[in-house]
Structure 1
Amino acid sequence: MKLLTATLFAALSLSACVATPPVTPQSLTLNANQQTNLRTLLGLTPSSAFTVNVLDQNADRQLTPGDIAIMYGGIANTETSRRTLGVADVTRINAATGLSEAARQLQAAEAKWQQIRPIHYAYTLQRSCFCTPEVRKPIEIRVFRGKVQQATVLPDGTPLPADRQASALTIDDLFLKIHDAIDRNAASLSVTYDPQYGFPTNISIDYERMMADEELALSASNFKIASGLKPTQRQ
């Protein structure tokens, strides 16, 4: 009897020491809109040959922060990169189709702009908002090496006041406005882009449908590459 008891005790002790094998995360099935948003998030175009798989790290059978997106590609279709999804990532992947399309257009336009992006350029920016007439006046902006060099208020050509310098935006700043609207899941976003250079020519954002007077509209016009002009000091 003692021998049997000792044998059972040893067997139980041995089984307790054996580690439970880790559970292999299962792949999540995403709908078409989520797939499109995920590929956009990872910088993939619709025609890209890369594939993406999402592992359900939390085993909850739904897309949640902490899940892992794995990209596969190459001749052997092997793993090329992986990304642990955060809260903002999941929000973008689950975004409505309209914002997904806006993100795709933004990616294509921004890529075109980055290919051309002149060192020295000038353009006119005008804001439409629930603000004073002075703020709605167009601003002629000159940019050199990514920084605003000079900003004047039209039509009189006076320097932009010091307290309004933040409203003198570069083209890159306009792209950031669009990125922000998508990241914040804006209720409405409409953008048109210049077919040659890719920069936004018109931006219309409504962040909250139920909130008044927070809409923003920006228009960019009279764009010209100013590489032949001598840089001047910003006023």
Structure 2
Amino acid sequence: MTAKTFSLIIFFCQIILLGCQTDSLDTTDNSQISGQTETVVEKTEQTNNPQQQQNELDSNHQLWKQHALTDYSFTVRQSCFCLLPVSEANVTVVDGEITQISDKKTGEILSDNYWVTNIDQWFEFTQSILTDGNLNEANYHPEFGFPQTIRYGYYEGVEDAGITISITDFEVSSKQKPQQQLDENLAKWQHQALSDYNYTIQTKCFCILKWSEVVVTVRSNVIVDAYDKSTGIQLDDDDKLQLHTLDKLFELTQKAIDSEILDEVIYNADYGFPELLRYGYNQQATDAGISYRVSDFE
């Protein structure tokens, strides 16, 4: 959806809101309108804290960006004191662009210039409402940070004004789930800022290895010691070069995702590093694939 289309969406919503407010105010005389306007402004300033709203918007927008989601689906509903051809729609987003919008009730496919936007543009829309001083309330998704409910244009004493937009049934596509999990666990691992640690790593592949399970010592992110767990024999420097630090396992996981050969990855619940990494087994070759299993981390 282009920036021009998005601007038209905002303009369309503002026209609806203005029309609703105008219809209501036409039932009173000018003195009532003037007095009511003053009351509305005062009420808005007393009940809404723009700085708090801005802080909440910024922190949740940052949370959304951290997930770096581009492929997802959701249902969006708009409620207002006006006639809408469709009030609830199912939306599919691929590579950050809306690929399909359908009427939730009838299943009819809708054109891409409808009033629906992707999640990134919802943030822009929320910001524009907040900047204009019309945001009444915004509730955000606790995990992903996107606006679940936006309420704006509701004024004291005006019964038929205001619009509510809600997002439900949000789901990350299966295509992006491995990347999302990697990003979240890599962030968890980096937050620990660990450079000195010990662990045991078991390697399995269709190849000849001098060892299968090795106890590893890492200092300043470099492997300084390693020995075969079953025999106690120290690995020489050349053999150590074939081992992987936990940071390197993240890199291997990313390469497996990018190459679409990831079979399985399980992350440590406390620290985020890959405890089990398997890739390449689903290739046509019967002797392909490699796996790493990490244990005894300390």
Q: TM-score, structure 1 length as denominator?
A: 0.54
Q: Tell me the distance in 1 between the aligned counterparts of 2:65 and 2:287.
A: 31
Which residue does the alignment assign to 2:247?
172
User: Which structure 1 segments of 5+ residues have no match?
Assistant: 1-23, 28-38, 56-69, 79-96, 225-235
> Which of 274, 278, 288 matches 1:200?
274
Q: Establish whether residue 138 from structure 1 lines up as the match of residue 213 from structure 2.
A: yes
Superposition pairs of residues 73-88 of structure 1, within 5 angstroms: 73=123, 76=127
Change beyond 3 A, Cα 1:112–1:202: same
Superposition pairs of residues 181-220 of structure 1, within 5 angstroms: 181-186=256-261, 188-206=262-280, 209-220=283-294
1:10-66 per-residue CA deviation (whole Å, 9 max, x = no partner) reads xxxxxxxxxxxxxx9989xxxxxxxxxxx88972598xxxx99559xxxxxxxxxxx
1:103-148 per-residue CA deviation (whole Å, 9 max, x = no partner) reads 111111111111113231010111011123534x211111112221
Superposition pairs of residues 44-193 of structure 1, within 5 angstroms: 44=69, 54=97, 72=121, 73=123, 76=127, 98-132=174-208, 134-135=210-211, 137-186=212-261, 188-193=262-267
Which residue does the alignment assign to 2:85?
none
Aligned partners of 1:204 and 1:217 also within 8 Å: yes
Aligned partners of 1:139 and 1:151 also within 8 Å: yes
Superposition pairs of residues 9-28 of structure 1, within 5 angstroms: none
Q: Tell me the distance in 2 between the aligned counterparts of 1:161 and 1:154.
A: 14
Structure 2 residue matching 1:105: 3-state secondary structure: helix
Structure 2 residue matching 1:223: 3-state secondary structure: coil
Which residue does the alignment assign to 2:160?
none
Matched AA of 2:289: E
Aligned partners of 1:207 and 1:215 also within 8 Å: yes
Q: Tell me the distance in 1 between the aligned counterparts of 2:228 and 2:4.
A: 59
Q: Tell me the distance in 2 between the aligned counterparts of 1:208 and 1:141.
A: 29
1:58-114 per-residue CA deviation (whole Å, 9 max, x = no partner) reads xxxxxxxxxxxx955465369xxxxxxxxxxxxxxxxxx545211111111111111
Change beyond 3 A, Cα 1:123–1:76: same
Q: CA offset at residue 155 of structure 1?
A: 2.3
Change beyond 3 A, Cα 1:40–1:151: farther
Q: Tell me the distance in 1 between the aligned counterparts of 2:96 and 2:181.
A: 23
- Alignment length (residue pairs): 155
Change beyond 3 A, Cα 1:153–1:71: same
Q: Tell me the distance in 2 between the aligned counterparts of 1:109 and 1:152.
A: 28
Q: Root-mean-square deviation (CA), in Å? A: 3.7
Aligned partners of 1:143 and 1:150 also within 8 Å: yes
Structure with more of its chain in helix, by fraction: 2
Change beyond 3 A, Cα 1:160–1:77: farther
Change beyond 3 A, Cα 1:198–1:156: same
Which residue does the alignment assign to 1:8?
none
User: Which structure 2 segments of 5+ residues have no match?
Assistant: 7-63, 73-92, 99-118, 130-172
Q: Tell me the distance in 2 between the aligned counterparts of 1:210 and 1:197.
A: 34
> Which of 215, 221, 226 matches 2:295?
221
> Which of 42, 61, 68 matches 1:43?
68
